[in-house]
Amino acid sequence: MKVKCYIQGMAAISPQHTFDGDITTAPFVQTESNRLVCIEPDYKPFIPGNSLRRMTRVLRMGLTTALKCLANSGVATPGPIVTGTGKGSLQDTEKFIKEIEQYKETALNPTPFIQSTYNSVNGLIALQQNGTDYNNTFVHRGFSFENALVDSMMLLQEGASHTLTGSFEEMTEEHFYIKSRIGQWRTAPVGNTRLFEQHLPGTISGEGSAFFVLTAAQTPASKAAISGIKLLYKPSEERLSAVLQELGADADLVISGDNGDSNYARYYELLGEVLPKPAIPFKHLCGEYDTAGSFALWLAAALLDTGKIPGEWFPMVKELPGEFRKVVIYNHFFGEQHTVMVVEKVNG
Q: What is the CA radius of gyration of the chain?
A: 19
CATH of domain 5-344: 3.40.47.10
pLDDT over 90 (residue 181): yes
pLDDT for 2 equals 63
Q: Name the band, by pLDDT with cuts 50, 70 and 90, for residue 291.
A: very high
Q: Is a pLDDT exceeding 80 seen at residue 1? A: no
b/e map of 215-254 (b: 16 or more CB within 10 Å)?
Answer: bbeeeebbbbbbbbbbbbeebeeeebbebbeebbeebbbb
pLDDT tier at 326, thresholds 50, 70, 90: very high
More confident of the two residues 102 and 252:
252
Looking at residue 293, its pLDDT comes to 98
- Residue 138 has phi, psi (to 5 degrees) of -100, 135
226: left (phi over 0), alpha (psi -120 to 50) or beta: beta
Does the pLDDT value for residue 338 go beyond 90?
Answer: yes
Q: If you average pLDDT over every residue of the chain, what do you get? A: 93
Half-sphere exposure (Cβ direction) of 208: Cα atoms closer than 13 Å: 33
Q: Report the amino acid identity of residue 183.
A: G
Say if pTM beats, i.e. exceeds, 0.85.
yes
Distance between the two ends of the chain, CA-based, in angstroms? 25
Based on the number of CB atoms within 10 Å of its own CB, is 325 exposed (0-12), middle (13-18) or buried (19 or more)? Answer: middle
User: What is the phi-psi region of residue 79: left when phi exceeds 0, alpha when psi lies from -120 to 50, beta otherwise?
Assistant: left
Give the pLDDT score at 325. Answer: 95
For CA atoms 303, 307, 161, 13, give the dihedral sign. Answer: positive
Give residue 94's pLDDT: 73
What is the reported pLDDT for 111? 75
Average pLDDT estimate for 53-70: 93
Query: How many Å apart are CA 122 and CA 112, to the nearest integer?
Result: 16
Question: What sign does the dihedral 22-23-29-34 (CA atoms) show?
Answer: positive
Is the Cβ–Cβ distance between 232 and 338 less than 8 Å? yes
pLDDT at 97 over 80: no
pLDDT higher than 90, residue 125:
yes
Return the minimum-mean-pLDDT range out of 91-105, 112-126, 281-295, 299-313.
91-105
Q: 40 or 98: which carries more pLDDT confidence?
A: 40
Give residues with Cβ within 8 angstroms of 63, minimum separation 6: 46, 47, 55, 121, 124, 125, 128
Section 201-215 average pLDDT: 97
Output the pLDDT for position 90: 79
Q: Which residue has the higher pLDDT, 329 or 111?
A: 329
pLDDT attached to residue 113: 72
